[in-house]
């Protein structure tokens, strides 16, 4: 049965062709007067004219704006702190992110820090709890993390080598403008990273110790099957609106907990993989494609029926109830084959990730609970995580 839950997804979605052109009108309805436009300084913003167009749409509604560019993958705390200072000085009343997950997460952190005297990093280290935020708006140009309506923000503090997240309902963006056409020019590698991220977000919720097979499982399976089908197609036909629209919306529902409510979730793949990003600045999607298959191989025998069902429902593996271990393992092999088909690495070696700091990564994983472990479907201690890193080499 579905466990008790509370959820309020308060994000307003403006989805479709030219969705971003309504930014001025929508923000005026929200009472916004001055916006901090946050982005990554990408050429796309200037070559397409989208940045200038958004500023003009704001000006037409008498909404003033200032800019802060320079967001990097695995968004830096140093830029967040710069944004907080700027937002306070300029009396900003909304942060508008133009980009993908890194820009949105950085905007979320700025929104939190702009309305408090607390050190924003204290929210990430759990020394303090945020009470309010500036509203955050999103013009989504890179669907991947689902940050446009999630409760999560991730920031990388390079000074101490820690990449940490917060998870609070108040950080959900207030509004998201989602035009699939804005994603046509995404490079294949970034598109593939995004698809792997979406796939992983669903798997982190699907691989649950809960036994029920109900609507949440079937919704998750439908999303995963769609990603397996459309992932290669969107790489081959990057300007296909239908494919891009499906992928964009999947990115959103994969991580706003639509398919995760009422169940125990796992998140081991993310927690283990995030340490690669923290130390080596490895792209998030890459850390997931490297770790996920290895994690599956390490834990599947503890919950073989769940992995066998996954194999059958997502990849069409024959499972008669007797060949459970064989079917489960075949599903894992097909998962890694799918990642390779998407051009993604499945080992440290394939992406030239060093293997000399495993103990340091283990030191930074937030093992917790009475058993001092991570994970949901299978609890993993330090030795388990070391084994997973070593298997992924």
* pLDDT (tens place) for every residue of the chain, 393 residues total: 688 888 889 999 999 999 999 999 999 999 999 999 999 999 999 999 999 999 999 999 999 999 999 999 989 999 999 999 999 999 999 999 999 999 999 999 999 999 999 999 999 999 999 999 999 999 999 999 999 999 999 999 999 888 899 999 999 999 999 999 999 999 999 999 999 999 999 999 999 998 778 899 999 999 999 999 999 999 999 999 999 999 999 999 999 999 999 899 999 999 999 999 989 989 999 999 999 999 999 999 999 999 999 999 999 999 988 899 999 999 999 999 999 999 999 999 999 999 899 999 999 999 999 999 999 999 999 999 999 999 999
**CB neighbours of 43 closer than 8 A, spacing ≥ 6?**
none
Supply the CATH number for residue 64's domain. 3.40.50.1970
- Per the CB < 8 A criterion, the answer to whether 92 and 34 are in contact is yes
Is residue 163 located within the same domain as residue 192?
Answer: no
Instruction: Please indicate, yes or no, whether residues 175 and 207 belong to a single structural domain of this protein.
Output: no
Instruction: Tell me how far apart the alpha carbons of residues 116 and 240 are, in angstroms, rounded to a whole number.
Output: 44
Answer yes or no: is 7 within a domain: no
> What's the CATH code of the domain at 364?
1.20.1090.10
Residue 4 lies in a domain: no
Say yes or no: 170 and 33 in one domain: yes
CB atoms within 10 A of CB 348: 21
> Does residue 204 lie in a domain region?
yes
- Asked which of 142, 159, 182 is the last residue of a domain, the reply is 182
Q: Is residue 144 part of a domain?
A: yes
Q: What is the pLDDT of residue 330?
A: 98
Number of structural domains in the chain:
2
- What is the SS3 string spanning the chain? CCCCCCCCCCCEEEECCCHHHHHHHHHHHCCCCEEEEECCCCHHHHHCCHHHHHHHHHHHCCCEEEEECCCCCCCEHHHHHHHHHHHHHHCCCEEEEEECHHHHHHHHHHHHHCCCCCCCHHHHCCCCCCCCCCCEEEEECCCCCCCCCCCEEEEEECCCCEEEEEECHHHCCCEEEECHHHHCCCCHHHHHHHHHHHHHHHHHHHCCCCCCCCHHHHHHHHHHHHHHHHHHHHHHCCCCHHHHHHHHHHHHHCCCCCCCCCCCCCCHHHHHHHHHHHHHCCCHHHHHHHHHHHHHHHHHHHCHHHHHHHHHHHHCCCCCCCCHHHHHHHHHHHHHHHHHHCCCCCCCHHHCCCCCCHHHHHHHCCCECCCCEECCCCCECHHHHHHHHHHCC
- List the structure tokens of 156: 């990388």
150 located within any domain: yes
Q: Are 218 and 282 in contact (CB under 8 A)?
A: no
One domain, residues 80 and 113 = yes
Same domain, 101 and 49: yes
pLDDT at 5: 85
Pair 211, 342 in one domain: yes
Containing domain of residue 103, as a range?
12-182
326, 380: one domain: yes
252 within domain boundaries: yes
145 and 197 together in one domain: no
Same domain? For 152 and 222 the reply is no
Residues 177 and 76 grouped into a single domain? yes
User: For residues 251 and 190, is the Cβ–Cβ distance under 8 A?
Assistant: no
**In-domain check, residue 6:** no
Q: Are residues 84 and 164 in the same domain?
A: yes
Q: Among residues 153, 182, 211, which one ends one of the domains?
A: 182
pLDDT of residue 212: 74
What's the distance, CA 294 to chain centroid?
Answer: 20
Q: 254 with 120, same domain?
A: no
Pick the last residue of a domain from 136, 157, 182: 182
- Contact criterion met (CB below 8 Å) for 324 and 311: no
pLDDT of residue 7: 85
2 domain-assigned? no
């Amino acid at each position: 049965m579905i466990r008790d839950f509370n959820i309020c997804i308060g994000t307003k979605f403006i989805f479709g062709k030219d969705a971003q052109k309504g930014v001025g009108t929508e923000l005026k309805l929200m009472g916004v007067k001055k916006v901090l436009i946050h982005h990554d300084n990408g050429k796309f913003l200037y070559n397409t004219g989208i940045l200038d167009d958004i500023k003009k749409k704001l000006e037409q509604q008498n909404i003033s704006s200032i800019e802060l560019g320079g967001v990097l993958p695995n968004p830096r705390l140093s830029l967040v702190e710069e944004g907080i200072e700027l937002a306070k000085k300029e009396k900003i009343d909304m942060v508008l992110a133009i980009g993908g997950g890194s820009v949105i997460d950085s905007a979320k952190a700025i929104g939190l820090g702009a309305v408090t005297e607390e050190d924003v990093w204290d929210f990430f280290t759990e020394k303090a709890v945020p009470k309010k935020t500036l509203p955050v708006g999103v013009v989504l140009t890179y669907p991947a993390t689902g940050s446009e309506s999630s409760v999560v923000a991730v920031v990388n503090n390079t000074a101490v080598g820690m990449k940490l997240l917060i998870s609070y309902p108040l950080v959900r963006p207030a509004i998201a403008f989602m035009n699939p056409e804005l994603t046509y020019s995404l490079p294949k590698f970034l598109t593939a990273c995004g698809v792997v991220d979406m796939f992983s977000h669903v798997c982190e919720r699907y691989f649950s110790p809960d036994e029920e097979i109900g609507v949440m499982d079937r919704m998750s399976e439908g999303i995963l099957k769609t990603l397996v089908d459309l992932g290669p197609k969107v790489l081959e036909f990057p300007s296909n609106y239908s494919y891009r629209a499906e992928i964009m919306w999947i990115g959103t529902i994969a991580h706003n907990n639509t398919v995760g409510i009422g169940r125990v979730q796992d998140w081991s793949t993310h927690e283990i993989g995030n340490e690669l990003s923290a130390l080596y600045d490895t792209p998030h999607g890459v850390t997931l494609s490297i770790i996920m298959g290895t994690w599956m191989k390490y834990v599947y025998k503890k919950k073989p029926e769940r992995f066998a069902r996954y194999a059958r429902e997502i990849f069409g593996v024959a499972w008669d109830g007797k060949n459970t271990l064989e079917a489960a393992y075949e599903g894992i092999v097909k998962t890694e084959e799918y990642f390779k088909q998407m051009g993604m690495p499945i080992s440290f070696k394939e992406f030239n990730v060093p293997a000399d700091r495993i103990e340091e990564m283990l030191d930074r994983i937030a093992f917790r609970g009475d058993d001092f472990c991570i994970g949901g479907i299978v609890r993993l201690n330090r030795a388990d995580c070391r084994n997973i890193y070593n298997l992924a080499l």
